[in-house]
Amino acid sequence: MNDQEPIREASLGEIAFVFLKLGTVAFGGPAAHLAMMEEEFVRRRRWITEAEFLDRLAAANLIPGPSSTEVAIFVGQLKRGWRGLIVAGSCFIIPAAVIVSLIAWAYVRYGTLPQAAGVLYAIKPVVVAIVVQALGKLARTGVRTALLAVIAGLAAVLWSLGVSPIAVLAVSGIVSAASLAMKNRLMALAVLGTPGILVVPALLVTTGAVMSFGLGRLFLSFLKIGSVVFGSGYVLLPFVQAEFVERLHWLTNQQLIDAVAVGQFTPGPLFTTATFIGFVLGGWTGAAMATAGIFLPGFLLVAVSGPLIPRIRRSALASAALDGVIAGSLALMAAVTWQLGKTAIVDRTTLVVFLLSAFALLRFRVNSAWLIAAAAVAGWVLHAWR
């Protein structure tokens, strides 16, 4: 690419076409999505500069929601304003949501058949290996100091005591910001005076009676989750488990890991795990409501965050709080991965699948979609042979 080549304009039709294509073929998770977007928009189509792409990526990492989807939304906004924002985000999400809904339909109809059980039996330990690999990569960046490691440990302890994910993240951010304030001899008490306001209501999130299923409640639950989850799609897991398994009792851990598996081996955003859960709970309407709820905050946050992002990045205290939130998120992710592992790795066969998958991911960097596909075939063949 010639750095002197002028930036090209893009019509709404071009934006829709490119993001529909990416949403259909972008396997491999957020890192793969971002690599494809950089190649498509910076090098091939020359829609934005490298610096603009990196700025949007940084901004996406500073707000809740799926980072790769939010980068897509940022690109659309940069090229065509609010219309581009809506078209880019929607076209990146819709192909994956449709594919996941079709798989969910087959799961609901045939999921109890022995053949489907055999496929899921082999896929689940692969999913755990994929999440462990992603956790390792994220931890190298997100837990890069001794303080952040301590915060992550504190978050894990709070989670084990039954504290809600939102409260865990609030405490993590406050501790990190307060530590910086004390280090710089600032008014630390002003920071520490706020935990009661933030934490006490959040502690109540996991309490209350079991609620009967409702589409409105489904939408609001995913809207809440989409408004507080930072980082990759894997960080979604503790929030979904706390809301739908522990609090509402609408899902089992088994169904949760099935949802994660489907979100992993399909293209597009990993947050379409919510689409699968919505379909399992409420059919096609449930899938649409869950998808709208989980992604809507990302659209709104991208739309309003433009002038605010530079101020956040310039504030040392706000940056420290964000670092704490990220460390807490990774601790939650590790805790839920442990629980999912106990559900998925149930015998010697699944243990071998997990170890081989982890080796392939770490040593050879095999695309996770290929591992999922291979496990599905192996599970089918193994069950037929038995």
pLDDT, tens only, 20-73 = 999 987 766 676 788 788 888 988 899 998 888 888 887 787 788 888 899 999
- Looking at the predicted structure, is the pLDDT value of residue 190 above 80? no
The more confident residue out of 202 and 55 is: 55
The more confident residue out of 260 and 161 is: 161
- Looking at the predicted structure, is the pLDDT value of residue 193 above 70? no
Q: State percent of the chain over pLDDT 90.
A: 38
In contact, 16 and 80? CB cutoff 8 Å: no
- Looking at the predicted structure, is the pLDDT value of residue 165 above 90? no
- Looking at the predicted structure, is the pLDDT value of residue 148 above 90? yes
In contact, 339 and 238? CB cutoff 8 Å: no
Q: What is the mean pLDDT of the chain?
A: 84
Q: Which of 3-7, 45-49, 107-111, 334-338 has the lowest mean pLDDT?
A: 3-7
Per-residue pLDDT at 310: 64
Give the residue carrying structure tokens 């081989």: 356
Give the residue carrying structure tokens 């899921």: 120
Mean pLDDT within 220-248: 86
* Residue 322 pLDDT level (bands cut at 50, 70, 90): confident
Q: For residue range 83-100, list pLDDT tens digits in order.
A: 999 999 999 999 999 999
Per-residue pLDDT at 3: 56
Mean pLDDT within 218-231: 89
In contact, 165 and 238? CB cutoff 8 Å: yes
- Looking at the predicted structure, is the pLDDT value of residue 182 above 60? yes
- Looking at the predicted structure, is the pLDDT value of residue 138 above 50? yes
Q: For residue range 2-22, list pLDDT tens digits in order.
A: 556 788 999 999 999 999 999
- Looking at the predicted structure, is the pLDDT value of residue 228 above 60? yes
Per-residue pLDDT at 303: 92
Per-residue pLDDT at 26: 79
Calpha distance 301→70 (Å, rounded)? 9
Per-residue pLDDT at 187: 46
- Looking at the predicted structure, is the pLDDT value of residue 349 above 60? yes
The more confident residue out of 289 and 375 is: 289
If you ran DSSP here, which 8-state letter would residue 162 be given? T
Report the 10 Å Cβ neighbour count for 269: 33
Q: State percent of the chain over pLDDT 70.
A: 87
Q: Which of 92, 67, 98, 94 is nearest to 15 (CA)?
A: 92
Backbone dihedral region for residue 243 (phi beyond 0: left; psi -120 to 50: alpha; all else: beta) = alpha
Per-residue pLDDT at 109: 87
Per-residue pLDDT at 100: 93
If you ran DSSP here, which 8-state letter would residue 308 be given? T
- Looking at the predicted structure, is the pLDDT value of residue 287 above 90? yes
> What residues does each domain of the chain span?
12-113+121-385
Calpha distance 188→197 (Å, rounded)? 16
The more confident residue out of 20 and 184 is: 20
Q: Which of 80, 56, 81 is nearest to 67 (CA)?
A: 56
- Looking at the predicted structure, is the pLDDT value of residue 75 above 50? yes
